[in-house]
Amino acid sequence: MPHNDSDLSKFDDAVKKHIRDLEDDLRELSHSIHSNPELGWNEHHAHKVLTDYMEKQDGFKITRHAYDLPTAWSAVFKSSAAKDDDAPTIGFNSEMDALKGMGHACGHNLIAIAGCASAIATARTLEQFKLPGRIILLGTPAEEGGGGKAVLLDRGAYKEMAACLMLHPGEGRGGKHGAGIMSSNCISGVAATFQGVPSHAGATPERAINALDAAFVAYSAISALRQQTPDGSRIHGIITGSEEWSPNVIPSKAQMVYGIRSHSAFKLADLIPKVLRCFEGAATATGCKLELVHDHLYLELVQNDSLARTFAEAAKRCWDSKDEPYEVDPNMVTGASTDFGNVSYACPALHPMFNLPEAGPDDHPHSASYAKTATLASSHEATLRASTALALTALQVLTSDQFRKDLHEAWQKDLKAIDAEHAMGRLKSMLPEKGVPIPSEKKEEQEANGNGHSCGCSR
């Protein structure tokens, strides 16, 4: 029988106990993932230890290579009280990938265990109180640039969820436990490859078409464009060459890999054509051929206010005290991007960022020191506290028919307010062809079984 909003607190002690029961195993799991950093689409060790762990949890059905992706997985739970396939369904996410050269400097080891903790605690509470409900925990590969959730979304992984929830570690915020409900930027990744003609730089330079010149012209044009971009927009990237580059040979190939960011899909649709014209103009000016490939599109987060309030109230109920307050900032701002934004366009969603109390002023996601911060005992404790509030938020979704109805209506209004359908239509019409290969599970048995190689990131 559905519960009213006011009696959600009856689950507090149960959820806290269930998560404490998992504490030691989750810490070991987090350290195992952290000690074996792997790049996107190659999270074979993380995939194995997470699926092995979830397979031991009562009632969860594991799909080890979900949606034809080698390192994606799902763990699905249906409570004993759910008598039919119409039971309400909540979704969670566990990210796994690391950063090139930096290891787990974005704390995905903590995100991985947060998904497990929240899903298991929710499942055990449903059983304890004999309540109907269904849980889908997704192991989501390649968040760092590969758009793993966008791929899973296209393949139907989120279509049954009434709402989807996940956590992400953030900064220190003065040593306090707490969390924030953040915004995020849209980002489109574009690779521009300039193809020229090589020639001897001293003897016959007039016969060459210089691809590096094209990249330099495009770089300069983009740098000038930044003067006219609105606040909050970002254009950033790198230039890569070839192993065959030599100072006495005019380069025949150069590539620019760029990210184009803005606060919303609508604003991004205004900015992308301006950046593409910089690439096109450089090709025209130098005579190079130009190939444009769309890498990934991450949409802005549409954070659901009802889910955010439920999370904040649960966190304060469970963890706030006079000696150690637990604050939830409802208006956290970040210029970063996440493929979970795409999920928030498909169903009501929540993505809080929780504080790591011992993170110093220079310790922030994607900084070298943050990888160490993600291993600390206080960071593990912060993950468990936030996971408790997230599980309670999930229980609110699962146990209140009216809450789910209101949730869906509010989400539809949010999408209408940002003109999401129109913005998406504009973006799809202007982006270059997508060219990033997506792995299939039909690969060598060694790779599919999680015995692939680590990326060798520093840690």
DSSP per-residue string spanning 258-291: EEEEESSHHHHHHHHHHHHHHHHHHHHHHT-EEE
Mean pLDDT along residues 399-410: 98
Residues of the chain with CATH 3.40.630.10: 5-183+300-422
Q: For residue 450, what pLDDT is reported?
A: 34
Does domain 186-297 fall under CATH 3.30.70.360? My reply is yes
**Cα–Cα distance measured from residue 401 to residue 383, given in angstroms and rounded to the nearest whole number:** 29
Q: Is the model's pLDDT at 458 over the cut of 80?
A: no
Residue range 244-299, pLDDT digits in tens: 899 999 999 999 999 999 999 999 999 999 999 999 999 999 999 999 998 789 99
Q: What is the 3-state secondary structure (H, E, C) of 24-50?
A: HHHHHHHHHHHCCCCCCCCCHHHHHHH
pLDDT in tens, 105-130: 999 999 999 999 999 999 999 999 99
Chain position carrying tokens 């310790």 = 363
pTM: 0.92
Residue 439 has pLDDT above 90, yes or no: no
Euclidean distance between CA atoms 222 and 220, whole angstroms: 5
DSSP one-letter code for 339:
T
Query: Is the predicted pLDDT of residue 55 greater than 80, yes or no?
Result: yes
Residues of the chain with CATH 3.30.70.360: 186-297
Residue 102 confidence (pLDDT): 97
Share of the chain above pLDDT 90, in %: 84
CB 450 within 8 Å of CB 45 = yes
At 433, is the pLDDT very low, low, confident or very high (cuts 50, 70, 90)?
Answer: low
Angstrom distance (rounded) from CA 25 to CA 54? 11
Whether the predicted pLDDT of 6 surpasses 90: no
As a whole number of angstroms, the distance between CA 322 and CA 215 comes to: 57
Give yes or no for residue 93 having a pLDDT over 90. yes
Position 444 scores a pLDDT of: 36
Q: Which CATH superfamily includes the segment(s) 5-183+300-422?
A: Zn peptidases (3.40.630.10)
Statement: residue 26 has pLDDT above 70 = yes
